[in-house]
Amino acid sequence: MSKRLIGLALSLIGSMGLGVLAAQKFFQLFDKTVPAGSMTDLVRAGTHTAYLGSGVLFGVAIFAWTTAAVWLSRFFPGASGTGTTSPGQPAK
C-alpha cells in the first residue's frame, strides 16, 4: 500500500468523522430547541437519520476540498526568499 493511498484513506476517515461529529452536534441543537410536544419518535428518528446523512455528505465535501487543495498546491510553489529580512528592514 503506497503512502499516497494511506494518506488519502486517513484524510477520508478524518473528514467523515468530522462531518458526522458536526451532524451529531447539530442534531443535539435541534433536539434541544424543538419542543417535545411537537415531535414524535418517528420524526426524531427521521431527523436524526437526515442529519447523519448530511454529515456524511459534509465529510465528503471536506475530503474533496482538502484533496483539491493539496493537488492544486503543487502548481503554486512558495516564494524562495521568504523570511530572510529582519524586522524593521525593508524587503528587497
Q: What is the mean pLDDT of each run of 10 residues along the chain (92 residues)?
A: 90 96 96 90 93 96 94 83 61 60
pLDDT for 78: 78
pLDDT for 77: 84
Phi, psi of 74 (to 5 degrees): -70, -20
- Residue 69, in any domain of the structure: yes
- Residue 82, in any domain of the structure: no
- Residue 89, in any domain of the structure: no
- Residue 92, in any domain of the structure: no
What cell does 2 get? 503506497
The total number of structural domains in the chain stands at: 1
For residues 63 and 50, is the Cβ–Cβ distance under 8 A? no
- Residue 87, in any domain of the structure: no
For residues 27 and 51, is the Cβ–Cβ distance under 8 A? yes
Q: Enter the DSSP assignment of 37.
A: G
Alpha-carbon span 58 to 29, nearest angstrom: 17
pLDDT for 36: 84
Could you tell me the residue range of the domain that residue 59 belongs to? Answer: 3-73
* Tally of CA atoms within 13 A in the half-sphere of 91 that contains its CB: 3
Q: What is the pTM of this model?
A: 0.73
- Residue 67, in any domain of the structure: yes
